[in-house]
Structure 1
Amino acid sequence: MKISTTNWHCSIAQLNPIIGDISSNAKKIKEKAELAVKQGAKLLLTPELSLCGYPPRDLLLHKSFIDAMEAQLQQLAQEIPSEISVLVGFASFNAFAHEQGTKPLYNSVALINNGKIHQIYHKRLLPTYDVFEEDRYFSAGNEVNFFTLDGVKIGLTICEDLWNDEQFWGKKTYAINPIQDLVNEGVDLIINLSASPYIVGKQKLREGLLKHIGKKYQTPIIYVNQVGGNDDLIFDGFSCAVNKQGETIARCHPYQEDLICLELDKNSLDLVSNYLQDLIDCEEEEIYQTLVLGVKDYARKCGFSKAILGLSGGIDSALVATIAVSALGKENVLGVLMPSPYSSDHSVIDAENLVKNLGINSEKIAIQEGMNSFDLMLNSLFKDTEFGVAEENLQSRIRGTLLMAIANKFGYLLLSTGNKSEMAVGYCTLYGDMNGGLAVIGDVPKTKVFNICKWINRNGEIIPHNILIKPPSAELKPNQKDEDSLPPYDILDDILERYINQHQSMNDIEKAGHNLETIKKVIKLVTRAEFKRKQAPPVLKITDRAFGTGWKMPIAYKLYSLN
């Protein structure tokens, strides 16, 4: 890219931090600053809380953690090249917390240059919805944040500070609008430093808001987002910039670190178009790439290089295995086939064909002997009773125990293969198929699982065709089908979407065309399965209502709408 010598330049550092690894994160910021100098940039932008990673959660309760951040920030300031200023996100102490009765910390950004911390700015709007609990730790800043650099007046916002435009949303969530305050100060450029987790289609929403604000206020905006997986949250990156006309003029690569240099025309005080990565138009591809990043980073940041999963010959385990291969490499994935007397021949064959297509390692362990042993041990207690759910679930728990034993023995990450539809209604077994260190598709409805698998096969068969066309079954008893216990998945998933994600009432769901008794059955199943979800592995989040840190339902309660 050709750099103008007359205009002003700043660089976006789209970073993938490791939460708590302050020294390594600082080293990465320093390296990006050195590269940005070579790009001709005068300012480097990093994401929200870039020094410690987002979200640090209750690490923030440890004073030593905050002390370590401040010490590292001082050291970083001395190591940054003098030719460039850098905005670094960190958590700072609130010196007036005790006398004000406020929280002890601020979510802050430091402006550093020439070996010094020149200014510290604080986040003004603190989100408390979904996965966000910022008022648990932080006080809200009360000053309008701006500074002048090389004659350019720059307004600074931190993540949520951007998201309170009443005209765009049709409502006002907070009493103040930091963007309006900056415009009133006459800034030339607005910067937003974010750690905004992925949900399906969110980038289009982000850019829609940015375009609205840029055009409304005739002020260019640069949006910097974190990238990478941190526990259940996945940050897609997609940092971007919008000009005064409300046009996206630059966009970073998604799902990876990136460093791009932006040019501001000193005459028009507008950003110049230069580096524009395409959006992903296919929802299935977007979700797939997100989950791949989630698995890759969860494994890497937790110290795993290899993964194990059970292969049933069904579509869920097929999708998880394919994601694991993309994330970790085929040589690092072990699939274990564990047929029972109720497993159909075609399921075993389908699983074996998947292993061949993916090129992964596999083991086959029949569980008949384990079933016989449990039958013998429980015979005195279970005699004169009919075969039922308890015996069915024993099969799943035998498989879960085998997988955990192999994972423990060889240091593998066990991937759980249950989908969101099953987790919602409890069609899963505690200490069985729910075992694992990570629930890869626990926020992906069954119907979406099928769509993603069809997308995977768009250029040729990876997931065996028979897996895509056979009726879903747990195969825990003869001729079992999921629809013996559940509504068809297209009906079930629509009811779940309306109830869980859209918070619709039974009456609203019935008006949408669903049978009232079916609705009641589904909602009862969702309610009764809460205790299972509380014991599930972390669920990679792709929707705005995932069974993870943002899901805060009680276990012991009676549903008022079904009384």
Structure 2
Amino acid sequence: MRVALAQINTTVGDVWGNAERAARALDDAVRAGAELVAFPELTITGYPPEDLLMRPAFVQDNLRALEELAGRVPPGVVAAVGFVDLAGDLYNACAVLSGGEVLHRFHKRHLPNYGVFDENRYFREAEETAALSLGGSLVGVSVCEDIWYPVGPAREQALGGASVLLNVSASPYHRLKGLYRERMLGVRASDHGCYVLFCNLVGGQDELVFDGRSAVFDPGGNLVCRARQFEEDLLIADLHPEEALVRRLHDPRPRKETSDHLSVIGVPRESKPLEEMEGTEEEDPVEPRVEPSHSEEGEVLAALVLGLRDYFAKNGFSRAVLGLSGGIDSSLAAVVAVRALGAENVTGVLMPSEYTSGASNTDAAAQAKSLGMDTQTVAIGEAFDAYRDMLAPVFLGLPEDVTEENLQSRIRGNILMALSNKFGWIVLSTGNKSEMSVGYSTLYGDSAGGFAVIKDVPKTLVYRICEHVNEAEGREVVPGDVIRKEPSAELRADQRDSDSLPPYEILDPILEAYVEDDKGEAEIVASGFDAADVHRIARLVDAAEYKRRQAPIGIKVTSRAFGRDRRMPIVNRYRERAPEDGP
């Protein structure tokens, strides 16, 4: 059985464009001799369609686009395509298409409702389990979350005799998730003694990125094929379903288990061999292809680039502008922007003040030159003086403090937004996750923008990615002085981040434990951190929720990002009470 996994980059809402993109991949798969062609979850609608699903016209157009795509699937070929089914209620579904017809509609049973997922808001759970009879072999079809459960549709299909388990998926990326996901899929293959085919979505959608990395596992749980990460790809593989039967004959354990009735869907077969069909090529054996994995830093960088590129392309934006301070954060944001959009579509703005060091100006200019991007310089000294003069009567007798620091940040934000309005550029904010966590940012200042490139990247990871970029390219793409110098907002004389925060090597692990892992203060302290640091950081994180709620969206790359992934109330009086405090 020759199969093709078509990991394509769909766009939410573009039902006709998505169907056409699938049809082009289908043609390529047919020319390669594929008998079974799989596409990602909700191919027709894009993922996640969210409240578009509450519009009847959208649901109906999705059904019409599916029917149109079915008309392009030739006899002898089966296509498995994700779509939204309407059968009294909405279902997250996978249609089986062949010979111009919709042969069956598989419905998703396990609807995720955690993290970034809200599927219980929109869909009804499946009530039946079925499999395809294809060329004398049973193929079980499931949708995304259904393969993650040890007990579920995939197990029932395997117990019912399926030798191939196909899972169509839209599994969002976070760092190192690909390895974890492959371990899970390998376990499913070996537990059930079946081939497991995993076809994943690729591309960016708002704050989500889908990394592709579709894969095939043999009945022993071994990785046979892997598609590219963060790129569209067509993965072709030759399966030998009799291997699953041999494994089943030698493993008596499944005989001790029972499953509910499995419906078997027959697929009409062509009377002549597939290779003789018009337009196909000679079927030589396919050499298994296993694309290499990125390093952790490399995959996060690729996710940022893809997420930003698709955010611009799918929204019709063309050019970006960002502040270039000579610091590590704006340098990484510029690297991502240039890789995603091209140097000709990125403008960096230097906005020096009386507190900006000469080294920072030099580093910002060097960064722009390294990337080949355009720059503008707009000094903020006169505007800052004007603000102070205007406010002097109101602030009479009061010392300068964070107010004056934030004024500078807001002036810079106004300049970037003015350029955005005048030229139609989209402002990229450059704050990292560490700063976002503790509120080390200025509302309507450095937090202003249309997209926050690195808002989910901790500061220590920012440094590692910049070092990775330089090592991978064999030159200082990010100037060495930017990486080596101590971080500073440069909003007052001799300012350093360490004046306000613990060193990032201490701060980031505390934030990961508190924000991503939901650990309590006592548990974090017990793991070796200073109690005063932990308590202070937890309070800063809680107090900054109102700021984060007003910040632009950015690309999710950690296991738990701010926004739809972590939903905390702004009005929130809960404070952890230490056991010694008593009731």
TM range (shorter): over 0.9
What does residue range 240-279 of structure 1 map to in structure 2 within 5 Å?
240-265=215-240, 267-268=242-243, 274-279=287-292
Secondary structure at the aligned position of 1:249 is classed as: strand
Q: Distance between the aligned counterparts of 2:241 and 2:509, measured in 1?
A: 52
1:473 to 488, 492, 504: 488
1:310 to 313, 320, 323: 323
- Mapped contact 1:447–1:490 kept (Cα < 8 A): yes
**Residue of structure 2 equivalent to 1:105:** 90
**Residue of structure 1 equivalent to 2:212:** 237
**Residue of structure 2 equivalent to 1:35:** 28
5+ residue gaps in structure 1?
Answer: 1-7, 96-103, 166-175
Q: Distance between the aligned counterparts of 1:558 and 1:435, measured in 2?
A: 28
Using the aligned pairs only, state the percent identity: 42
- AA aligned to 1:143 is E
Distance 1:266 1:524, change over 3 A: closer
Comparing 220-229 and 379-388, the one that deviates more:
379-388
- AA aligned to 1:75 is E
**Residue of structure 1 equivalent to 2:508:** 493
CA deviations over 1:183-234 (Å, ceiling 9, x no partner): 1211010000000011111111111011111112211100000000000000
What does residue range 98-137 of structure 1 map to in structure 2 within 5 Å?
104-137=89-122
Tell me by how many angstroms 1:372 deviates.
Answer: 1.9
Distance 1:266 1:422, change over 3 A: closer
Comparing 200-209 and 372-381, the one that deviates more:
372-381
CA deviations over 1:293-315 (Å, ceiling 9, x no partner): 11111111111121111001100
Tell me by how many angstroms 1:279 deviates.
Answer: 3.3
Matched pairs, number: 538
Q: Distance between the aligned counterparts of 1:236 and 1:336, measured in 2?
A: 32
Q: Distance between the aligned counterparts of 1:223 and 1:266, measured in 2?
A: 16
Q: Give the TM-score, by structure 2 length.
A: 0.90
Q: Residue 197 in 1 paired to residue 172 in 2? A: yes
Secondary structure at the aligned position of 1:193 is classed as: strand
Q: Residue 545 in 1 paired to residue 560 in 2? A: yes
Q: Distance between the aligned counterparts of 2:288 and 2:3, measured in 1?
A: 13
Secondary structure at the aligned position of 1:380 is classed as: coil
Q: Residue 526 in 1 paired to residue 541 in 2? A: yes
Tell me by how many angstroms 1:146 deviates.
Answer: 1.1
Comparing 274-283 and 14-23, the one that deviates more:
274-283
Comparing 380-389 and 522-531, the one that deviates more:
380-389
CA deviations over 1:309-337 (Å, ceiling 9, x no partner): 10011000000101111111111110000
Q: Residue 177 in 1 paired to residue 152 in 2? A: yes
2:77 to 84, 109, 124: 84
- AA aligned to 1:111 is V
CA deviations over 1:112-152 (Å, ceiling 9, x no partner): 11121111110010011100010000000011131112222
**Residue of structure 2 equivalent to 1:510:** 525
Secondary structure at the aligned position of 2:312 is classed as: helix
5+ residue gaps in structure 2?
Answer: 248-284, 579-583
- Mapped contact 2:224–2:290 kept (Cα < 8 A): no
2:363 to 342, 345, 350: 350
- Mapped contact 1:13–1:44 kept (Cα < 8 A): yes
Q: Residue 438 in 1 paired to residue 451 in 2? A: yes
What does residue range 414-453 of structure 1 map to in structure 2 within 5 Å?
414-453=427-466
Q: Distance between the aligned counterparts of 1:490 and 1:367, measured in 2?
A: 33
**Residue of structure 1 equivalent to 2:64:** 71
Comparing 140-149 and 317-326, the one that deviates more:
140-149
Q: CA RMSD in A?
A: 1.5
**Residue of structure 2 equivalent to 1:17:** 10
- Mapped contact 2:219–2:243 kept (Cα < 8 A): no
Q: Distance between the aligned counterparts of 1:281 and 1:353, measured in 2?
A: 28
1:334 to 342, 347, 350: 347
1:206 to 163, 177, 181: 181
Distance 1:250 1:462, change over 3 A: same
- Mapped contact 2:323–2:349 kept (Cα < 8 A): yes
Comparing 444-453 and 377-386, the one that deviates more:
377-386
Comparing 405-414 and 540-549, the one that deviates more:
405-414
- Mapped contact 1:15–1:257 kept (Cα < 8 A): yes
Q: Distance between the aligned counterparts of 1:28 and 1:475, measured in 2?
A: 49
Tell me by how many angstroms 1:376 deviates.
Answer: 2.7
Tell me by how many angstroms 1:281 deviates.
Answer: 4.8
Secondary structure at the aligned position of 1:335 is classed as: strand
Tell me by how many angstroms 1:91 deviates.
Answer: 0.9
1:219 to 170, 189, 194: 194
What does residue range 147-186 of structure 1 map to in structure 2 within 5 Å?
147-165=132-150, 176-186=151-161
Tell me by how many angstroms 1:286 deviates.
Answer: 1.2
**Residue of structure 1 equivalent to 2:273:** none
Tell me by how many angstroms 1:373 deviates.
Answer: 2.0
- Mapped contact 2:29–2:37 kept (Cα < 8 A): yes
Tell me by how many angstroms 1:266 deviates.
Answer: 5.2
